[in-house]
Structure 1
């Protein structure tokens, strides 16, 4: 079940993010951006949704509605639940949320060292728009037009 995160989810969300992104620290040479976010604040702002199964948070989405599209700011799946298609379900949920909001594009970014993510996003129909250094991270920006 995908649902809005609540204050009770702060610790499980933070633990999931730490576990999901830890493997990238050696590649990047620092903690990835998602590990530096204030999830209590993001949850309080209504920007976080979680995939919950049998009382456990197995996936996290951070969605930010913008005037011209939906920013999928973060998508993460617990390492223990990876390989079950939860990432694809979360991505589809983000696209459905964009449609509900009347938005025609979903944008995201990832660190260029996260090559697995780049391949997944391309397979799901996202296209690279540009690359840039942002907040000290080398990021690849992508988008998917929902009418495509």
Structure 2
């Protein structure tokens, strides 16, 4: 699956990665606190539980975990719970690599649709997902956050 993406393929997160994933989420998402006037959900996630109950992937390097991806299978779609890229590694294509990995995982798990949501105030993220071919579905108020739902339909595999 390496293809034209940077570095090596993601690998499954291990239980001992939980604290590193918590730190990665803090570093990746803390810049959004002043934009949202709230703490992004990935910063409060229980990564030990997610590793045990979800489909969690990481890109490792000598410097540590450069990116993470949390996937949660639904009834008819695969939810991208979070994508985190170390701020020191942004611009290297790791976010796009994780999206492509999510597409491959969806196919592996028998899904033809992926979904995700992000805060409506994260304009750069919204634009990035749209450029990657995602469609905005609708907005929703969740507690103190207003979120926007996205969907991505996988193209049928040529036979």
TM-score normalised to the size of structure 1? 0.95
Is 1:13 aligned to 2:21, yes or no?
A: yes
* Structure 1: tracts of 5 or more residues without a match: none
**Matched positions, count:** 148
Q: Name 1:101's counterpart in structure 2.
A: 109
State how far apart, in whole Å, the 2-side matches of 1:43 and 1:134 are.
24
Q: Name 1:44's counterpart in structure 2.
A: 52
RMSD: 1.2
State how far apart, in whole Å, the 2-side matches of 1:98 and 1:55 are.
29
State the Cα deviation string for residues 7-60 of structure 1 (Å, max 9, x = none): 111111111100001111111112111111111100121431111122610001
2:21, 2:68 within 8 Å by CA — same for their partners in 1? Answer: yes
State the Cα deviation string for residues 51-94 of structure 1 (Å, max 9, x = none): 11226100010100112010001001000000000000000000
TM-score normalised to the size of structure 2? 0.89
Greater mean alpha carbon deviation, residues 37-46 or residues 96-105: 37-46
State how far apart, in whole Å, the 2-side matches of 1:105 and 1:73 are.
14
Q: Matches of residues 1-148 of structure 1 in structure 2 within 5 Å?
A: 1-54=9-62, 56-147=64-155
